[in-house]
Structure 1
Amino acid sequence: MHFSENSRVWVYQGDRELTDNEALQIKVLLDNFTTGWTAHNNQLKAKAEIRYNRFLILIVDEGQAGASGCSIDKSVHFMQQIEAQFGINLFDRFNLAYRKGNEVLSAPRAQFEELLKQGNINTDTIVFNNLVQNLTELENKWEVPFKDSWHIQLFGNLVLSS
């Protein structure tokens, strides 16, 4: 099934890496959810992905039907159920993900700041911009160097002064 490059995306980042078994279980739940996901009784053209066993991504091609406030609320409640069932936090926007070699790690804001001060994260470190809005941004602006991300606005003084 083809999805438009303008399809809306929502990225939920776990505060820890999922085990392969958890990822398989969650993928089944995500597929079941997206198959039955509706907006005002209209079936949404939707799919879900799990990337790096850490990111749960919902995608809706609004060419068929647009995601409404109620349908978005349904997805949030669904993600809250996933959180409870698997003991993960998907809603902490200040749990920041970054790459260290081939590994994807995350750190709470205070720890992320410490890593910056220590030089363990620098302007070239790949960070994840979970604020992307559509498939094009997901493919081109999700994994970016720190210096090209929104992170630089929040933490730039820590790397630029060192």
Structure 2
Amino acid sequence: MFVSFDQLPAHARIWIYQANRRLTDAELAAVQPALAQFSADWTSHGRALQASAAILHHQFLVIGLDEAIADASGCSIDASVRFVRELEAYWGVTLLEKSQLAFLVNDQVELMDRRELRAAVAEGRLRPDTLYFDNTVAQRGQLAATWPAPAAQTWLARYFQPSVVR
């Protein structure tokens, strides 16, 4: 059963998929019916799921589910991944690739390969206060409160610690 994304409770489980490029306004408008249809049709063992899907910051597909109504099963999660793959093909983007990290810089999403982190910190391109989109956030309430968050307040904090000489 479709519910507006902003109507999902704070405890709703979410999955975040990051596109490898910014989606256009036309792409976003064209996909809205498919997002609503997927959410309306998504089931788990024949039970309707109270779900939603939204595109945030023109670059992130977020699927949300109120697990207090019904949990996602392995089959329903597989169905959501098939839907994500269909969107990848439709847009010509990658959403399931995890090697790129996203930061908010001057109100724009910037992607950085994970292997560039140390150099970016050393060069000052990535600072402790640079906003980072931690796509492991698992609940809608966390999304609203801490996404994006300063890099030093996420798992990236270790990159800002002074080196210990041994």
TM-score scaled by structure 1?
0.90
2:25 maps to: 20
Q: Indicate whether 1:133 and 2:138 are aligned.
A: yes
- Structure 1 segments unaligned to the other structure (5+ residues): none
Other structure's SS at 2:129 match: coil
- Matched-pair contact (CA < 8 Å) for 1:4–1:135: yes
116-125 vs 48-57, which deviates more?
116-125
Aligned CA-pair RMSD: 1.6
Q: How does 1:123-162 map to 2 (within 5 A)?
A: 123-153=128-158, 155-156=159-160, 160=162
Give the counterpart of 1:53 among 58, 61, 66: 58
42-51 vs 106-115, which deviates more?
106-115
1:11 maps to: 16
Amino acid in the other structure paired with 2:97: D
- Matched-pair contact (CA < 8 Å) for 1:96–1:112: no
- Matched-pair contact (CA < 8 Å) for 2:44–2:72: yes
Q: Indicate whether 1:34 and 2:65 are aligned.
A: no
Give the CA deviation at 1:88.
0.7
Amino acid in the other structure paired with 2:26: N
Sequence identity of aligned pairs in percent? 33
Whole-Å separation in 2 of the counterparts to 1:3 and 1:124: 29
Q: Residues 84 and 124 of structure 1: is their aligned pair in 2 closer, same or farther, counting only changes over 3 Å?
A: same
Q: How does 1:78-97 map to 2 (within 5 A)?
A: 78-97=83-102
Q: Indicate whether 1:63 and 2:82 are aligned.
A: no
Give the counterpart of 1:100 among 94, 99, 105: 105
Give the CA deviation at 1:103.
1.2
Give the CA deviation at 1:28.
2.2
TM-score scaled by structure 2?
0.88
59-68 vs 104-113, which deviates more?
104-113
